[in-house]
Structure 1
Amino acid sequence: MAEIKPIRPWRFNDDLSKNIDNLTSPLFDVVSDKQRESLYQNQYNSIHLSVPKGPNAADNAKKLLEEWKTSGAVKQDDLYGIYVYYQYFTLPGSHKEYCRKGFICNLRAYDWEDKVLLRHENTMPGSVNDRIDILEKTQLNVSPTHGLYTDETFELEKYMDESMKFPIYETEDYQGVRDVLSVIHDAEVIKRFITLIDDKQIILADGHHRYEGSLMYRHKMMAENKNHTGKEGYNYHLMFLTNTEADDLRILPTHRLIRNIENFDPQELLKKLEPYFIFKPVDDPYNINEIILGKQWAFGLLFKDFAIKVRLKPEMINEIKWNFPQEIKELDLTVMHYFIIEKALGIEGKDQRASDKLIFDRSFGDCLAKVITEEVQMAIITNDISMEDVKKVCYSGYTMPQKSTYFYPKVICGYLFSSIKEDEFQSPPYTCF
């Protein structure tokens, strides 16, 4: 099923890499304006390629990349490799150090209908177009997306652990996460990675916009290239792959914020919700995320002057009219988007993807602050999603609403870049790949 290839990436030269922590950056969809402006001050920070500045941003990134290549600021590795990437992290309320283990490689860009790579959420068109433009101009995958494979035997972990004895980079990133990179050059070991993934389906965990950008660019190039073979660089996409069976795979909740609703009245909203939900007032809104924790179909509603926990009446689950299989209807996210956002707030399901009334925030503290300061009209606090829920959605062929999952921690940008430019992508004669 899934075809992967080792990579021969571009990386910062040895002198610059001595301060690699000054060259890394958050992904384009999580970097804040403040972080962005700070990172722009370093002329070699990867932010210049991932989120380039200016009205002609993609052209600026292309020009800068050419300058970096010419000056030797970045150099392409001589050998193909599987790049092992570990992320060590902790979570609030726990002293345990987790380690998310995975590896970075090229994956063939499969169409959704091939059912080799499975998506679990929708994309937003504007973000996809932005990613295509940068990819087309730079011919570079600046950061890996995050994919999931399933291997209950954990065969690849022994090779990855061995590689990690000799790290290339080790930094602490903006999330407080310790990121470590190493590489496997052994051809026989690389072939084990290729063989094991060959019969797998891959679930796209994070990076739907970047992947869809690669997919659309591939279709564009296929149409233009009369001699298309399927081996060209534009057929591939950079991906970080982790095992779904690992205990250290964490998915954090993404809350919904509501704004710009005309004649918004919290009491009127509650009247609309009353037929569907059981209400429980909450004295201290700072605890509402803990009060709903682990409870199915339970949500925290934050308003400027009060907070309330709502939980769907069990018999109401059969009132969902959306054409979904039962296991999808029973997801917390489906309940929230159907009963609260469509039925009560009046934002129909077909319009939710592009609605400016609905925004997303992963920080409970931010949600509370934005409600109190009236930056938004209300917040809907939700529970996290399990890996089993993600699998259910992917295997059903349906998708969740956009921004449904937050696989933590985020991959960082700047450790390596993967070219799809033909003379940089194709295998040199001395390599077996």
Structure 2
Amino acid sequence: MAIVKPFKAVRPSRDKAALVSSKSYEAYTPAELGAKLNFNPFSFLHILNPDYKYHQEVSSEQRFQLVHKKYSEFKSNAYFTKDDKPAFYIYQNNTPTKSYCGIISATAAEDYHNNVIKKHEDTLQKREVLFEKYLKKTGFNAEPVLLTYPDNDVIENIIKKHQLERPEYEFATTDKNTHFLWVINHEEEINLISEAFKNVATLYIADGHHRTTSSCLLAKKLAAENKNHTGNEAYNYFMSYLLPESQVDIYEFNRFIRDLNGLTSTQFLEELGKVFQIKKKHQEIFKPSEKNEFSMYLDGEFYALSLKDSIYKITDELSKLDAQILFTTVLKPILGINDIRNDSKIVYSQNKSGSLELKTKVDTGEFKVSFGMLPATIDELKNIVDADLLMPPKTTFIEPKLRSALTIYEL
């Protein structure tokens, strides 16, 4: 049973929503970031970068304090106001090729600790601790975690009803996306949505593992520090964007390897041949068409690799995953990469735009060989998670990517 609650969001005024909201901070190049900060005084990026104009280094502690101060200034200037009533928020993002639409809500830290909200990848403790400190010092979170759930007719009908009404926000961005936001603050509809999610056994984290873990760690700490803790405090929840499974898009990551671990190309191909059927594709760009099939680019030529079923043994849900197969058959035993999260010999790149990057990056000479595969499916993700297993790092690149500061959750 998933606990999903409405909350009083802090939001930009209708006339400034397009100017205030931003992509995730990491999505901007330095040039783009500078342009936003120099020419858009309303951008939420000013809150995230309160020290940019000073051109000097500050500690994390100082920066978090400056973030809080700048956020307070935005509220004082009425760029942000807090809703009077708790609400759910329907957010729709139309890209040039697809429309995503789900509900922004408060979800329970308790559900994460009780395994109702499940993760599919591991997190780095250093990042967890840093973001936990950020949340505590700043007192808000502006980017929801992306959670997915089985498609639900009750929720879908409520969303469709509001999509016929004028949205609170409607604006386009320079990436050719159009954004819409509707506010649901009627008690009857709020109850219908909350009750519908009580019938959802599991919510799966699609994107935002560190934000989730940090929020839940902070909830435990603040509860322990609060002598009058009731469980209803804002810190017991974190902001999420709940999206039906049918709307989640998963893309794969390509793998680029800097050397062949002391092997010649001929020796490397001989080792691969023990586990894979190998077909040379020459200059033909090859992309896998089925599971357990991989593309490889080596010495100016593409190869198709097909797993020999008689050699590789399936032992659990994780061992069925192509990213895991590549690790256990090639990266670790042949190329000597044991720590795929931290080894500098391997680099990852999401493969939304096609397979040509497998060639171009290797042709520069920086890498010796590259590998591509089909993306994981939502069912693979769920099966692995439900078996209490975790996917390897850089297995899934998931869309939609969410904008910051359309709704802000205050702790």
SS at match of 1:301: strand
Deviations 1:54-97 (A, max 9, x none): 5343233122112112222211122221100122235xxxxxx4
| SS class of match (2:310) | helix
* DSSP-derived class of the 1:110 partner: helix
Q: What is the Cα deviation at residue 10 of structure 1?
A: 1.2
**Residue 159 of structure 2 corresponds to which residue in structure 1?**
160
Tell me how far 1:208 sits from its aligned partner. 0.8
Structure 1 residues 198-217: aligned runs within 5 Å: 198-200=198-200, 201-217=202-218
- Equivalent-residue separation in structure 2 for 1:391 and 1:216 (angstroms): 24
CA contact (8 A) 1:28 1:51 kept: no
State the number of aligned residues: 397
Q: Unaligned stretches of 5+ in structure 1?
A: 91-96, 421-433
1:68 matched to 2:58: no
1:55 and 2:58 equivalent? yes
Residue 176 of structure 2: aligned partner: 176
SS in 2 for 1:203: strand
Distance in 2 (CA, whole Å) between partners of 1:186 and 1:372 is 59
Change (3 A) 1:262 1:223: farther
Partner residue of 1:85?
A: 91
Q: Equivalents in 2 of 1:130, 1:376: separation in Å?
A: 32
Q: What displacement does 1:264 show? A: 6.9
1:265 Cα deviation from its structure 2 partner: 4.8
Partner Cα separation in structure 2 for residue 407 and residue 122 of structure 1:
16
Given residue 67 of structure 1, which amino acid in structure 2 is its aligned partner? E
Partner of residue 384, structure 2: 393
Residue segments in structure 2 that go unaligned for 5+ positions in a row: none
- TM normalised by structure 1 equals 0.84
Distance 1:279 1:110, change over 3 A: farther
Q: Does 1:36 align with 2:42?
A: no
Deviations 1:154-181 (A, max 9, x none): 2111111221222122233465333221
Q: 1:333 aligns with which of 307, 320, 323?
A: 323
* Residue 2 of structure 1: aligned partner: 2
What is the rounded CA distance, in whole Å, between the counterparts of 1:326 and 1:101 in structure 2?
34
When normalised by structure 2's length, the TM-score is 0.88
In 2, distance between residues paired with 1:336 and 1:104?
A: 37
Q: What stretches of structure 1 move > 6 A for 4+ residues in a row?
A: none
- 1:31, 1:266 → 2: CA distance? 38
Compare 265-274 and 162-171 and name the one that shifted more: 265-274
Q: 1:73 to 1:384 in 2, by over 3 A?
A: same
The residue number in structure 2 matching 1:120 is 120
**Match of residue 288 from structure 1:** 286
| Greater mean alpha carbon deviation, residues 197-206 or residues 28-37 | 28-37
Q: Which of 351, 364, 370 is matched with 1:373 structurally?
A: 364
Q: CA deviation at 1:279?
A: 1.0
Shift of 1:182: 1.1
Task: Provide the rounded CA distance (Å) in 2 between the counterparts of 1:50 and 1:344.
Answer: 43
Partners of 2:263 and 2:136 lie apart in 1 by: 44
Match of 2:295 in 1: 300
CA RMSD across the alignment: 2.4
Using the TM superposition, name which of 304-313 and 328-337 deviates more: 304-313
CA distance in 2, matches of 1:78, 1:120: 36
- Percentage of identical aligned residues: 24
SS in structure 1 of the partner of residue 403 of structure 2: coil
What is the letter of the counterpart of residue 210 of structure 2? H
SS of equivalent residue, structure 1 residue 315: coil
Q: Per-residue deviation at 1:260?
A: 7.0
SS of residue matched to 1:115: coil
Partners in 2 of 1:342 and 1:255 — Cα distance? 16
The 5-angstrom pairing of residues 347-426 of structure 1 reads: 347-348=337-338, 351-363=339-351, 364=354, 365-420=356-411
Say which SS state the counterpart of residue 161 (structure 1) adopts: helix
Alignment check: 8 A CA contact 2:248 2:400 kept: no
Any idea what SS the aligned residue of 1:359 has? strand
The residue number in structure 2 matching 1:311 is 306
Bigger drift between 135-144 and 54-63 goes to 54-63
Deviation string 1:346-394 (CA, Å, 9 cap, x unpaired) is: 112xx22333333321134555432222343432212111111111112
Q: Residue 427 of structure 1 corresponds to which residue in structure 2?
A: none
Match of 1:346 in 2: 336
CA drift at 1:234: 1.4
Q: CA deviation at 1:51?
A: 6.6
- Out of 26, 33, 45, the residue aligned to residue 43 of structure 2 is 45
Q: Is the 8 A contact 1:272 1:344 kept in 2?
A: yes
Deviation, 1:29, is 4.6
Alignment of 1:249-260 (within 5 A): 249-259=248-258
Distance 1:124 1:378 in 2: 28
Q: Structure 1 CA distance, aligned partners of 2:320 and 2:391?
A: 12
CA distance in 2, matches of 1:260, 1:58: 41
* 2:107 paired with 1:107: yes
Q: Any idea what the Cα deviations from partners look like across 1:103-125, whole Å, max 9, x if unmatched?
A: 10000113655120011112233
Check 1:172–1:299 CA distance in 2 against 1; reply closer, same or farther (3 A cut): farther
